[in-house]
Structure 1
Amino acid sequence: MARKNSKANKPIMARAAAKYTTYRVSEPGELMEFLMKKMAGISRTRVKALLTNRVVLVDNTIQTLYNYPLQPGMCVQISREKHKHEFHHPMLKILYEDAYIIVVEKKEGLLSVATERQKERTAQHILNEYVKRIHKGNRIYVVHRLDRETSGIMMYAKDEKTQHTLRDNWHDLVRDRRYVTIVQGEMEQDEGTVCSWLTDRKLYVSSSPTDDGGKYSVTHYHTIKRANGFSLLELQLETGRKNQIRVHMQSLGHPVVGDERYGCEMNPLGRLALHAFKLCFYHPVTHEWMEFETPYPTPFKTLMLKK
């Protein structure tokens, strides 16, 4: 029996080994230098290409950061099955990934995370399935959210400790969150700040100019362009409350285009005209400064072309 089991195990082990080239870390260092040393003759450009192509794993987690710090005992693997680690989804794009966080751009119409009332497929579900392909023990943890109707950049954690670090130190780590929106009507001011107390009423969020027990919320806005009865704004958040921008724009008398819930009767784009285009923060583990930015959506620019 022992010989039979031994023979049966050999092909399985051989097949598993063939999927990766594996290196064990014996001393502290950075990933780029480690790979250049282990893969004698490889150029820095080639190593960066491996990282960009998402085929380098550290302890069973895809790593794309060239200066990722390695410690003795870690396992570095180069996958020979590139297709296994590729990610393609019509509603979601991965902008960055390492062992601790994953930064994505989602399209409008996709929930960030399921709610008690809505159990449908979400960005979190899609990413969970993706990371479990790499290792069945992997999972995604929610840090913040975007409304279903809002597109743009958001971040998830890849372990519970990183999730807590981000949530508990959000205002210290996340230094710049910016949105672009188109609102109904021409803005009276070139720039300004909206402050109010917001209360979640489940079906909608109410706003009060005085403290009524709600959450204090601050939105800064800058008017970029006025045209065709609309205004293109760039917004910077000091706080990140549910529906904050949508409620604050309504309070100014200029609701977000396509936002029927908060007073807009026009929907020329067939979507909510709100996009999270910029996210800047200090990495919760490496403390590296991270900047992510996407272009304004093309339909936004088209709507603002003067006729």
Structure 2
Amino acid sequence: MKLELSHTVTEISANASTILTTLSGLPRQRIKDAMAKGAVSLKRGKHTKRIRRINTVVKPGDILQLNYDDSVLALKPPVIECLEDRRSYSVWFKPAGIMSQGNQFGDHMSILRIIEKQNDNKREVFPVHRLDRETSGLIIVAHSKKMAATLSSLFQTQQIEKSYQAIVLGKTEETGTIDRLLDKKNAITHFKRLNFNEETNNSLIDIRLETGRTHQIRRHCDSIGHPIMGDPRYGTGNKNQQGLQLVAYKLTFRCPIKHQQVTFELPEPFAQNT
């Protein structure tokens, strides 16, 4: 069942869950579950935020929004692994299928919310960069607004080197650079072939980005005739049951806390996906 509902509050000192239960026809327990998982938002003036407490009081003029999808709400978030905790930021492994941030249908399957829950909501979490939902790999999370701004600036000025590995269709060149516009913007991807499997007709490649366009690696690999195996969106002849074979396996940068070069790396990038 999928339901999208928007309601401008006219009631005085009304309860959000009561209003949504009445308007949606859903049981109160389902509204409570939807609120806890981030599927209900409240717009007051120019500000919109998720509301999670079932007894939240709303005011006339507030706009309540419910985006209910029982197939999304039924998903169970996994326990994820923290590779490094430096107090003001931490490095985690994001499994494929987990969002970097939530959407209007909830955030319980986003890495930020999962981390909050694993830390019993005792630490703030702020996004620093993103990985596609289908992509697994290392992701950095900040635990203060100041650190979030610092790390975001490092990403924007390309002071954090991101390395990926992918299994692609066919035999690629030994090395190459893909310099093709994406969305009318410059986009540059460098790759090196690590191995070619004749039996499966797949190449394992190491990838480094100079830019960060939407789905850059996936689109660039497809553009040269070597789509990433398991990509549900790009390429032909590359579909499988294992999912997208792309892993963000290494991050290298100057730590803003210890002021020295650090590298966080998955020793076996595809071992986490098996």
Q: Does TM, normalized by the shorter one, top 0.5?
A: yes
Matched, 1:106 2:76: no
CA distance in 2, matches of 1:253, 1:173: 28
CA distance in 2, matches of 1:92, 1:263: 30
Contact 1:178/1:279 (8 A) holds in 2: yes
Contact 1:173/1:282 (8 A) holds in 2: no
CA distance in 2, matches of 1:109, 1:250: 21
Runs of 5+ consecutive residues of structure 2 not aligned to the other structure: 1-76
State the match for 2:203 in structure 1.
231
Q: Which amino acid aligns with 1:184?
A: L
Contact 1:258/1:264 (8 A) holds in 2: no
Structure 1 residues 298 and 166 mapped into 2: Cα distance closer, same or farther (>3 Å)?
Answer: closer
Structure 1 residues 173 and 290 mapped into 2: Cα distance closer, same or farther (>3 Å)?
Answer: farther
Structure 1 residues 140 and 283 mapped into 2: Cα distance closer, same or farther (>3 Å)?
Answer: same
Q: What aligned pairs does 1:3-14 form with structure 2 within 5 A after superposition?
A: none
How far the C-alpha of 1:184 sits from its partner, in A, is 1.0
Deviation per residue, 1:21-70 (Å, 9 max, x gap): xxxxxxxxxxxxxxxxxxxxxxxxxxxxxxxxxxxxxxxxxxxxxxxxxx
The one of 223, 226, 234 equivalent to 1:254 is: 226
State the match for 2:174 in structure 1.
190
State the match for 1:215 in structure 2.
185
Deviation per residue, 1:76-134 (Å, 9 max, x gap): xxxxxxxxxxxxx845210011221110011111111113466452110011223345x
Structure 1 residues 96 and 181 mapped into 2: Cα distance closer, same or farther (>3 Å)?
Answer: same
Contact 1:173/1:284 (8 A) holds in 2: no
Contact 1:173/1:283 (8 A) holds in 2: no
CA distance in 2, matches of 1:177, 1:118: 28
Contact 2:129/2:155 (8 A) holds in 1: no
Structure 1 residues 274 and 175 mapped into 2: Cα distance closer, same or farther (>3 Å)?
Answer: same
Contact 1:184/1:264 (8 A) holds in 2: no
Deviation per residue, 1:200-256 (Å, 9 max, x gap): xxxxxxxxxxxxxx3322110001111121111110111222211000001111111
* Percent identical: 32
Structure 1 residues 221 and 118 mapped into 2: Cα distance closer, same or farther (>3 Å)?
Answer: farther
The SS at the match of 1:216 is: coil
Contact 1:256/1:264 (8 A) holds in 2: no
The one of 242, 259, 264 equivalent to 1:292 is: 264
Structure 1 residues 121 and 114 mapped into 2: Cα distance closer, same or farther (>3 Å)?
Answer: same
Greater C-alpha radius of gyration = 1
The SS at the match of 1:223 is: strand
The one of 213, 226, 229 equivalent to 1:241 is: 213
Which structure has more helix as a fraction of its residues? 1
Matched, 1:165 2:135: no
CA distance in 1, matches of 2:181, 2:105: 25
Q: How many pairs are equivalent?
A: 195
CA distance in 1, matches of 2:269, 2:118: 27
Q: Which amino acid aligns with 2:111?
A: A
Q: Where do 4+ consecutive residues of structure 1 move more than 6 Å?
A: none
CA distance in 2, matches of 1:103, 1:226: 31
State the match for 2:243 in structure 1.
271
How far the C-alpha of 1:171 sits from its partner, in A, is 5.3
Structure 1 vs Structure 2 CA RMSD: 2.3
CA distance in 1, matches of 2:158, 2:258: 12
TM-score normalised per structure 2: 0.65
Deviation per residue, 1:167-225 (Å, 9 max, x gap): 123255744211110111111x11011122222xxxxxxxxxxxxxx332211000111
How far the C-alpha of 1:296 sits from its partner, in A, is 2.5
CA distance in 1, matches of 2:234, 2:106: 21
